Every structure is written in C-alpha cells, then in structure tokens.
Amino acid sequence: MNDIDVLLQEHRRFEPDDAFRAQANISAAEYSEAMADPERFWADEAAKLEWMSTWERVLEWQPPRAKWFTGGKINVSVNCVDRHIRSARRNKAALVFEGEPGDTRTLTYWDLYVQVNKFANVLRSLGVRKGDRVAIYLPLIPEAVISMLACARIGAIHSVVFGGFSPESLSDRINDSACKVLVTADGGYRRGSVVPLKRNADKALEGTPSIEHVVVVQRRPGAPGDEAGADMRDGRDKWWHRLMRHAPQWCEPEEMDAEDPLFILYTSGTTGKPKGIVHTTAGYLVGAMTSTHIVFDLKEDDVFWCTADVGWVTGHTYLTYGPMANGATCVMYEGAPDWPEKDRFWDLCEKYGVTILYTAPTAIRAFMKWGDQWPAKHDLSRLRLLGSVGEPINPEAWMWYREHIGGNRCPIVDTWWQTETGSIAISPLPGITATTPGSATNPMPGFTVALLDAQGKEIEVGGGLLAIMKPWPSMLRTIWGDDQRYVDTYFSKWPNRPDVYFPGDGAKRDEDGYFWILGRVDDVLNVAGHRIGTMEVESALVEHPAVAEAAVVGRAHDLKGQALAAFVTLREGYAESPALRDELRDFVAQKIGAIARPDDVLFSADLPKTRSGKIMRRLLRDIAEGRALGDTTTLADPNVVNSLKETYEAQET
C-alpha cells in the first residue's frame, strides 16, 4: 500500500483559556513525565484504586501478550461503588435517569451500592459463579449498569448486547461465549414505541442451550406488580423485582486477579462473524478511570452525560466504569434524541444542568440537519466541555458543535479509540492542548502512537497507517475462543514488527505532530494512483452549506481503478437538483483537488447506519458496485439501504 494522500488542510486553532488551563486535571509537565516513563505513570494511576493485594510487577510484555499489575488482587465494583459510600459521596447522585416517556429516577451511590449487592446475590442464587458468562440485553436503564457491576462483584464475565440487536445477533453472541444467564426486559422505548425485548429474547433462546435462567426487568407500561406484559416460561424466566425483594443487601466481593476477564464485548468483524473482545479487570479499570479524569477534566460537582448505550464500549467505559471509578454523577437517557421533538437532548442538558457532554459526530450532523433553532431554545450555559466519539468528526460539524452547543467557550475533546483499546488513545487534553477542528491531536499520556508506512517505517508528516507501538493497560487481551484471530487481526500487519498493534485505521500527521484519523484502511480508495481517505472527501462535502451528512465509497472504474460515489443528506430547507449535484462535485474539486471530484452524487433522506450511529459504508459499496446487499441485521433501519439501492439503480439507468 502507498502512503495516503493528504488533501484537506485545516488551520483554525483554539488555545485553552487561562482559567481552564489553571484548574486542569493534568499539566503539560505531567504529560511530558508520563510520556517519558509510561510504566511509572500507569503505576501511579493504579495506586489511586483500592486493591485487595498490591501488584508485584507493573507490566509483563511478551508480544503480543501483555499482563498488567501481575499478582495484584482487586474488585471493580468495590472501586466503582463501595469506596464512595465510605466518603462524602455516599449520598451523591450516581445515576440520573430519564426514560423516553419522561419517567425519572435518581440513584445515589448508596442506592447503587444496595442494588448492586442485591443483584449480585440474585445471580449467585441462580448458580452464577466466578468465570461464568452473563448476557445483558436491556434498554438504557439503571438496571443495565446495576447488572454489569453485580457481575463484576462476583467475578462473572458480562456480555452486554445492544437492545436494538436482532434475535439472531443475540443468539450468536450468547452461543459464542456460552452464557449461563440472560438479563432482559419486557420492553424498552424508542421513538414512542415499545421495543419487544422479551419477545426477541424468547426467539433468540430457541437456539441457546447454555442459558439456564432469564431475569426480566419490568419496564413496559402498567401498575407496579402488573406482570401481564410478558410471556414468562415456568422454571426459566424470573421477574427482576421478585428476585430483588428478598435478596440480602450485602454480597461479599470476589477477589479478582488483575488479569481475570471483566467482560466480553462483541464488535463486527470483516468476516461477518462478530469478534468477542476480552477486557481484563485491573488494566481496563485503570485506563477507564484515568482517561475519564484527564480527558473530561472531571470535577466533583460535574454532571457528566455520555449519550452512548451500554451496548457499546463507549457506554461501558464512559457511562459506567470510568465515571463510577471517579465517583461522578452521570445522566442516563433511554430514548431517541428527536423524541418527541428535535430538542430532547438540549432539554435534558438544561433540565439536569449537564456540564460535560460526550456524543457522536453522527448525532452532531443530525442536529445540524435539523437546524440551529432547536438548541437555541434552551439554556446550555452550564456546559463547560464537549466531547466527540465514534468516528472522525468533520471540521464543519466540529465548528457547529463549538458555536451552537458550546457557545464558543467550551473546549472540544475529539477522541479516538476503539472497543479493542478499551479507553481513549488519542485526544486533546482540554487544559493543555490547542485544538484544531477535525484533529484528534496527540496521544494520551502513557500511549506510544505512530504513523507507519506499509514496510513499518515511521512517517513524521503525511498519510499512512496508524500504529500503537507499546502495550497499554486497557488493551484487549484476546478474542474469546479464537486467540489466533487476535494475533492475525491486530499484530500481523508488519511481520518484521510483531510487537506493534494495528488498529485498522489510516491517518495523517501534520507539521505540528497532530494526528488526523482518516477512517478504516478498508475505506481508503485508489483513484488514478492516488490513495484517498474517504473522510477528507466527506469533510469537504459537509463544508457546503446545503450538506448535513455525506458518505463516500468507491466503485470500479475502467480507467481510474476506482471512482468516487458520494451519498449525501441535505440540511433542512435545501432541495435536491441536478444543478446542486454538479455544484457539489465542483465544490469538492475546488476544496481538495480535481482528483477527489465525485463521479456520482446521490441524494438521500438518510444513510444506512448501525444502531450505534456509524455509517455502513460496506453496504454503500455494495450499492455502488451493483452487488447483492450484504448482512443488514445490525442496521437501525434496513429499509434505508433498500430504498437507496433502488434510487441508485434508477439513476444509473
């Protein structure tokens, strides 16, 4: 592979203000010390946790095998709950929950402690022991976090499956890890409708012989104790509230080895078979706690809202384990951002006094599409820091976020990381980093990140392949049941360098040393000998005032090798037309060069996205190439891709 061409230039720069710099949780000097001696940095961070037995060695590294804090004994739930109830945080709000219909609950750290202990005892009463796997298939409700922490308390390994996934997806994940118990609900809310989780679970369980018990949370409408809303199978299915009623309030925490697995989380694989990413106890918790504290500059009185579902790693690390290890107050919202109106997020920010907001570029571009008037209706003055996660953010979306949500005063942390890294790997640190729209800027303290070419040679300035050169505590340890796939996927890109982790992303590095993520290497296109990252073309399109969102893929071309096909969603108030199509093609050529001019521009009311909000470019490639559509089971709305396919084929004829 050649180096990736660098097309997009961005020179806007925003320095931290003096007041923010003065109170920041990490200084430039501390950052330099961490980069000079990462192991010492991680050891100092780990020492902030409560250990049952102290570790003997910080790191054992036999590539590609890492062991962190070997010999140490620890329990995650003790660190996320117990130690806070022995302090002034005992009555501090831990979770502030609002359901889509408007129902609310607030759980203090004491409330959370009681619920976690009781459900841990419930799981033990159902025969769950250390090392057993528990599947969690719930809406975004407090019981999801309670279930995760209860598993951690008794040493069970949790596997959270997003509540929007199909029965087939749930069944595959349960079977891959042979889960013993499933925790689900009689329903959940999405855009005013009840999602039939129990019915989906029952269908999935037709082919899951390892499941012995199903615990069902009552979420659907009805008076307390009205249990008519779910089909309960005798002997297997049990109501959560009945089991909790008489469960003891204290559960002895299991002493866990630092390297014992904490959870399995499935992520899509290129082969179609999901990968069960395994994260261990101590290293993961250290990464989650540390990154939450320094990236979000977390203070005792902050109200932190990570909008992700716990079905994704972002919800694991920045709704549950990271904030809870720091004793933070977290907002949790069950439903859609545009229900019942397109200002639901801003209503929640105002209502609960949110100070830190962490959301996805896909959501930000949707907010742009809906119009500036929606956030303008609300007082967002308590916000003091904004974050972006999930995929590269276009500079124009970054600027819109800064102006319309942050009031041109809030620092933005554009974070890069993966399910596999466990915690943020590249990000601005808001008190010390000058930010640039669209750039994730610098590696986190304790991370050694580089840009390499196909032969493994480091690239100082330009485009290439992202690489993590040294191990870090929150890194994945293996793929459940398929260790060779772990080696082949992450540590075989450079055969001469088997100690280097390859995340699968292309990136560029500018003259200041800042990293710019260009997306998956699979999405890099070869156009007339030029290697073009789709993110740069998409960013150019989004700069046009008519465009809310864009996805660019390649299709075969007789002369150029590949041609660019752009799928575009317009902002409110703009209409598609042949003239606008030509204008957009010319706009891209003017912005980043004629080589990047799209051959095709297709207007669409929506783009095919996963339920986490990521655009499924694989399916767009299928459309552009005229192939049969691949697996669509993880799409939020499968109808979108079918409609797009029909429109594209009609345009081609």
Domains of the chain in start order, with CATH, are: 524-652 (3.30.300.30)
pLDDT for 1 equals 41
DSSP, res 458: B
Q: Is the pTM of this model over 0.95?
A: no
Q: Assign residue 175 a region: left if phi > 0, alpha if psi is -120 to 50, beta otherwise?
A: alpha
Q: Which residues pair with 466 in a beta bridge?
A: 451
Candidates 185, 183, 123; CA nearest to 156 is 123
* Token pair 């799409």: residue: 635
For 520, other C-beta atoms within 10 Å of its C-beta total 18
User: Helix or strand or coil: residue 547?
Assistant: strand
CA distance 138 to 142: 10
Burial 267-303 (b: 16+ CB within 10 A, else e): ebeeeeebbbbbbbbbbbbbbbbbbbbbbbbbbeebb
pLDDT for 554 equals 86
Handedness of CA 534, 540, 541, 547 (dihedral sign): positive
Percent helix, strand, coil in the chain, to 5, is 35, 25, 40
pLDDT for 3 equals 67
What confidence tens digit (pLDDT) does each residue in 495-539 have? 999 999 999 999 999 999 999 998 888 777 777 667 677 888 888
CA distance 16 to 138: 40
pLDDT for 615 equals 82
Q: How many CA atoms lie within 13 A of 544 on its CB side?
A: 26
CA angle 411, 413, 416 (to 5 degrees): 170
Spans of the chain below 70 pLDDT: 1-4, 6-7, 221-229, 268-272, 528-529, 531, 611-612, 630-637, 652-653
What confidence tens digit (pLDDT) does each residue in 78-110 have? 999 999 999 999 999 999 999 999 999 999 999
Candidates 576, 516, 519; CA nearest to 547 is 576
pLDDT for 545 equals 94
